[in-house]
């Protein structure tokens, strides 16, 4: 039985989940709660992934492309083997990251709040899309992760219309058509996550309105849970 409380935020890029999660973190700190903040994708900068990118002198997103291309004659069999194993090594790396960021703090016995911007569910979904991993394998990966990484106690699913997400991040999302495709994909991710969680308090929230009001609502929901 863990003493810590896990609070997670998920949502499409431009939904404001990072802003809202950071705001909650700062407010809980002001009220003297023992709270930590983790951006789940910081695992992209792990020692392992930096090492293998350096080995091939390329970015992470290009490594998967290299693995599917015909091997040049000057590439060693060891390098080819590493490329083939790269997707599974990334997933394993995320599993280790999840254990380190959840299980270890949870065992310290304090009433700590572990606050996450994203969580392993949406990461697995994204990795399976990136690496062309079939749905049945994705389901198996989720089962494995759930053995080692606790489900969140509170999940905030933050949503905005595609037009708003594009207006907030035009340099990243590029076009309204792309924003709509990302929004549709995120709905699938959200439904996938929610279908797996039975004992989690889930709040689906539209963040296209007043940000200050939304921050207060999230703080109120969180404090109500912590004090119950």
- d(Cα 30, Cα 24) in Å, to the nearest integer? 10
Please give the domain boundaries of the chain with CATH numbers for all domains. 5-227 (3.40.50.300)
CB 218 within 8 A of CB 3: no
pLDDT at 54 (0 to 100) = 62
- pLDDT band of residue 1 (cuts 50, 70, 90) is very low
**Which residue has tokens 């296209």?**
208
100-135 residue pLDDT tens = 998 877 665 567 899 999 999 988 988 888 888 898
Quick one: pLDDT at residue 145? 95
- Whether 154 shows a pLDDT value over 50: the answer reads yes
3-class state of residue 205 by DSSP: strand
Q: What is the pLDDT of residues 15-71, one digit of tens each?
A: 999 999 999 999 999 999 999 999 988 767 666 666 666 655 555 555 555 555 555
- The chain-wide mean pLDDT, for the chain, equals 84
The answer on pLDDT for 143 being more than 90 is: yes
pLDDT tens sequence across 64-82:
555 555 555 455 565 666 6
Q: Is the pLDDT of residue 144 over 80?
A: yes
Looking at per-residue pLDDT, the higher value among 5 and 79 belongs to 5
| Angle formed by the axes of helices 77-98 and 47-56, nearest 10° | 160
Rounded Cα gap, residues 68 and 162, in angstroms:
32
The more confident residue out of 199 and 3 is 199
Closest CA to 94 of 128, 59, 120: 120
Please state, in angstroms and rounded to a whole number, the distance separating the CA atoms of residues 68 and 62.
10
Q: Which of 41, 1, 6, 4 is nearest to 197 (CA)?
A: 6
* SS3 (DSSP) at 2: coil
Stretch 170-187: mean pLDDT: 91
Question: Average pLDDT, stretch 139-168?
Answer: 94
> pLDDT at position 127, please?
86
Confidence (pLDDT) at 3 = 74
Q: Is the pLDDT of residue 223 over 90?
A: yes
- The predicted model gives 145-174 an average pLDDT of 93
pLDDT at 16: 93
């Amino acid at each position: 039985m863990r003493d810590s409380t896990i609070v997670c935020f998920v949502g499409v890029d431009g939904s404001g989940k990072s802003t809202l999660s950071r705001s909650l973190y700062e407010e809980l700190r002001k009220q003297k709660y023992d709270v930590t903040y983790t951006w789940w994708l910081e695992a992209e900068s792990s020692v392992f992934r930096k090492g293998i990118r350096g080995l091939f002198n390329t970015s992470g997103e290009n490594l998967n492309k290299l693995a599917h291309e015909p091997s040049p004659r000057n590439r060693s069999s060891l390098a080819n083997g590493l490329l083939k194993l790269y997707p599974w090594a990334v997933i394993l790396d995320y599993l280790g990251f999840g254990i380190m960021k959840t299980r270890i703090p949870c065992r310290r016995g304090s009433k700590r709040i572990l606050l996450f911007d994203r969580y392993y569910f949406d990461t697995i979904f994204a990795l399976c899309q990136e690496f062309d991993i079939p749905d049945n394998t994705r389901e198996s990966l989720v089962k494995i992760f759930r053995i080692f990484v606790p489900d969140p106690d509170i999940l905030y699913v933050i949503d905005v219309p595609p037009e708003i997400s594009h207006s907030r991040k035009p340099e990243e999302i590029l076009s309204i058509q792309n924003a709509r495709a990302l929004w549709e994909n995120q709905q699938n991710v959200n439904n996938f996550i929610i279908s797996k969680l039975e004992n989690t308090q889930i709040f689906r929230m539209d963040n296209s309105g007043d940000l200050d009001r939304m921050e207060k609502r999230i703080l109120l929901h969180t404090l109500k849970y912590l004090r119950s």
